[in-house]
């Protein structure tokens, strides 16, 4: 059976008795008489015609905001994406999501997003390098980095103060009297991970603490589990572990418990992000909360200000909040 052909704007024009340009003006929101608008909409409804929104994006300035996201499997980022969708749609914008699989995709991804004539871009990916960031900074399309800082590049950014958060964890461990720290790391390509590590290591050194043992390489449950197994195999087991994300902490906790290592009796653990699962009874994780709603709100404010013509490219740091739960051994 022959597939039914979708009606075109020409069909609508003939059915309504108007020009094709009148149909185009009606569906693009441009000036057209009320009588013509009614004719076009009635004809479109009778024919089952739907305008091609993608074609309008390509052929004229859109109301699209591109969101480039890398770590979408980390539960922190779906929440962030939802918050961006709500905040931007409330202001009349639509979101085009571009997911990155790795650093090699970042350049092509930015070019692809720009080809859709987006009004602005929000980048949450850890794979955005300084060269691509520099190109974004010079682009006519405003770009805001979310939870990413690239030093030496004049581009807008909103981020948790990850260095200060790492220092906060170091102080917490030292104040509790721990002496054998470990760090389970996320991706070494991510500025957020590097800054958490820097703050943690620097503050431990300032207070005369031991340099931590380090394992891990990305934010996943599996990596956290493997890192904990590696830590258990060390000649001297750690008495406290700072995990660069809650997801890493979950994997570490399950591995430790399976090996008979009690949390927090034998080892204390602090995570990062405060995703909803961190409060579940199975984990009850002490963690650093990223105030993501506030960060999303400020990122949108910066982006829309840039779209409206502001030349300022602010970089804002938002402090993390310590959430005390059950994985930190009480002070003696």
Give the model's pLDDT for residue 103.
53
The CATH number of 162-291 is 3.40.50.2300
Q: So what's the pLDDT on residue 101?
A: 67
Per-residue pLDDT at 47? 85
Q: What is the pLDDT of residue 254?
A: 97
Tell me what pLDDT residue 4 has.
56
How many residues does the structure list for the chain?
Answer: 332
CATH number of 9-51: 1.10.260.40
Residue ranges for the chain with pLDDT beneath 70: 1-4, 28-30, 52-62, 101-107, 126-130, 132-133, 137, 331-332
Distance between CA 291 and CA 310 in Å, rounded? 25
Domain 9-51 shares a fold with domain 61-160+292-318: no
> Helices (H), strands (E): how many in the chain?
12, 12
Looking at residue 1, what is its pLDDT?
44
Q: What is the 3-state secondary structure (H, E, C) of the chain?
A: CCCCCCCCHHHHHHHHCCCHHHHHHHHHCCCCCHHHHHHHHHHHHHHCCCCCHHHHHHHCCCCEEEEEECCCCCCHHHHHHHHHHHHHHHCCCEEEEEECCCHHHHHHHHHHHHHCCCCEEEECCCCCCHHHHHHHHHCCCCEEEECCCCCCCCCEEEEECHHHHHHHHHHHHHHCCCCCEEEECCCCCCHHHHHHHHHHHHHHHHCCCCCCEEECCCCCHHHHHHHHHHHHCCCCCCCEEEECCHHHHHHHHHHHHHCCCCCCCCCEEEEEECCHHHHCCCCCCEEEECCHHHHHHHHHHHHHHHHCCCCCCCEEEECCEEECCCCCCCCC
Its CATH class, for the domain covering 61-160+292-318, is: alpha beta
Where are the chain's structural domains? Answer: 9-51, 61-160+292-318, 162-291
């Amino acid at each position: 059976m022959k597939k039914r052909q979708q009606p075109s704007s020409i069909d609508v024009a003939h059915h309504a008795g108007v020009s094709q340009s009148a149909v185009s003006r009606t569906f693009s929101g441009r000036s057209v008489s009320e009588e013509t608008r009614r004719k076009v909409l009635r004809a479109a409804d009778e024919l089952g015609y739907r305008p091609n929104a993608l074609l309008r994006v390509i052929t004229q300035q859109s109301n699209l905001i591109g969101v480039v996201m890398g770590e979408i499997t980390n539960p922190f980022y779906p929440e962030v994406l939802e918050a961006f969708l709500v905040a931007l749609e409330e202001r009349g914008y639509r979101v085009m999501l571009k997911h990155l699989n790795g650093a090699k995709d970042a350049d092509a991804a930015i070019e692809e997003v720009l080809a859709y004539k987006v009004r602005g871009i929000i980048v949450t990916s850890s794979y955005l390098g300084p060269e691509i960031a520099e190109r974004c900074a010079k682009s006519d399309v405003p770009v805001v980095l979310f939870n990413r800082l690239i030093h030496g590049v004049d581009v807008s950014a909103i981020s948790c103060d990850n260095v200060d958060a790492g220092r906060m964890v170091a102080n917490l461990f030292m104040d509790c009297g721990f002496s054998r720290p470990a760090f389970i790391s996320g991706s070494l390509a991510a500025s957020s991970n590097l800054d958490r590590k820097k703050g943690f290591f620097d503050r431990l050194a300032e207070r005369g603490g031991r340099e931590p043992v380090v394992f891990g390489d990305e934010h996943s449950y599996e990596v956290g589990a493997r890192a904990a197994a590696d830590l258990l195999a060390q000649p001297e087991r750690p008495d406290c572990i700072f995990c660069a994300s809650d997801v890493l902490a979950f994997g570490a906790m399950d591995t430790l418990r399976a090996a008979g290592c009690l949390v927090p009796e034998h080892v204390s653990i602090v995570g990062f992000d405060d995703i909803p699962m961190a409060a579940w009874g199975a984990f009850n994780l002490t963690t650093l909360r990223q105030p993501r709603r506030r960060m999303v709100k400020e990122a949108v404010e910066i982006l829309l200000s840039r779209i409206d013509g502001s030349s300022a490219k602010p970089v804002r740091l938002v402090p993390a909040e310590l959430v005390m739960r059950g994985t930190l051994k009480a002070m003696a």
